[in-house]
Each structure stands twice: as structure tokens, then as C-alpha cells.
Amino acid sequence: MKYALLIIDMLEEFVRGRLRAEAAEAIIPNIGSLLVFARSHGIPVVYAVDSHYPKVDKEFELWGPHAVRGSPEARVVEELKPLESDFVVYKRRYDAFFETDLDLLLRELGVGAVVLTGIHTHICVLQTAVGAFYRGYRVIVPVDCVAAATKEWHEKGLEYMRSFLGAELTRSDQLIETLKRELGVPPASQYM
């Protein structure tokens, strides 16, 4: 089965800005490890990022203006910024599949399983997991690569994905080991 790594909303706005999750900084290195592994083993990397029009957006009624298209707050954090070989899907709602070409892109890439990382566990990650589930994708969530504004919201989001979507909850290091086995990557000792 072919995998894709999705990095959801790791933007300045949600990591260091007004709508930041306290745990956001802590997940950057874990996402970074998955990112390096994915790029070096041919796993497509897709950034699903909020990109709102300046004055017209339903989400502004709830959260105020955020991740406004072209603003510094709408940029992916420097530590995880996309390369030209990566894909960027712009979204205006929580679910990265809603009214975007994410599903078409993943199908063209032959992807059957999505690894979801990013912000916020109980909002955009959860809603993207729902979108993936509805479209028949296998959903994998490394719990140390997602975060929410509170520990309670984080845990509720994870529990919902596990219980109602059949999401596979794991850790980034465990996932890398699983992917190595599935991809037939030789153990590190064989490189010496």
C-alpha cells in the first residue's frame, strides 16, 4: 500500500501566533523526522494549509481573521517548509478534502494510506481524518505529531479518530520502523 504524509496547518498562526497550540513547538521535531524519512524513501509529502481570503470566510465568525492568504501568519513554519518536490493544497475549511483537489492528487499518486500530522488534533486533523475515512483511505495518526490547544481536546480528538474512524494511533518512531519493514529498507547496520 502506498502512503502519503500530510502536514496539516503547521503555520506560523497556529504554532507561534494568536491561535497557537501550546504543544505545537514540541511536535515539530517528530514531524521533521517523518518528513526526512518520507522524502528519502519516495513517500509523497502533502501540505494541507489554511489559506483564507482577507474578508470573506465563514471560519472568521468563530475564530476571527487567521491564516489570511499571503500574510506571514499563513506561512508554514521554517523548520518544516515545503520543498519544490512536495505538494501544497490550500484549504478554506477544517477538512483538507472539502472543496480541494486533495483526493484527486492522492488518487493520481496511487495513495491508499494517509499519515496525518499537524494542528489542531480535534479540529483540522480530525475533520481531515473524517474526509479520508469517507473516501476509503487508511488513516494513521502518530500521536506525537499532532497537537491541540489543550491536552483534553488533543485526547478527545485522538479517541474519536480511533473509535469512530478506525484510525491507527502510533508514535513517529514506531511508524518509521513499520514503514522501513513494509518498504524493505535494510537495517542501519547493513549500511556500514
We report the CATH number of the domain holding residue 171 as: 3.40.50.850
DSSP the chain: -EEEEEEE--BHHHHTSTT--TTHHHHHHHHHHHHHHHHHTT--EEEEEE-B-SS--TTHHHH-S-SBTTSGGGSBPGGGPPPTTSEEEEESSSSTTTTSSHHHHHHHTTEEEEEEEEE-IIIIIHHHHHHHHHTT-EEEEEGGGEE-SSHHHHHHHHHHHHHHH--EEE-HHHHHHHHHHHHTPPPGGGG-
Enumerate long-range contacts of 164-170, CB under 8 Å, 24 or more apart. 165/129, 165/130, 165/132, 165/133, 165/139, 166/133, 166/139, 167/116, 167/129, 167/133, 167/139, 167/140, 167/141, 168/138, 168/139, 168/140, 168/141, 169/141, 169/142, 169/143, 170/140, 170/141, 170/142, 170/143
190 within domain boundaries: no
Q: What pLDDT is stored for residue 63 in this prediction? A: 72
72 within domain boundaries: yes
Q: What pLDDT is stored for residue 62 in this prediction? A: 66
124 within domain boundaries: yes
77 within domain boundaries: yes
126 within domain boundaries: yes
166 within domain boundaries: yes
189 within domain boundaries: no
Q: What pLDDT is stored for residue 191 in this prediction? A: 41
49 within domain boundaries: yes
Q: Which domain holds residue 117?
A: 2-184
The count of structural domains within the chain is 1
Residue 82: name the closest of 32, 37, 122 by CA: 32
Q: What pLDDT is stored for residue 73 in this prediction? A: 86
pTM for the full predicted model: 0.92
Q: What pLDDT is stored for residue 64 in this prediction? A: 63
Low-confidence ranges of the chain (pLDDT < 70): 62, 64-65, 188-192
Q: What pLDDT is stored for residue 190 in this prediction? A: 45
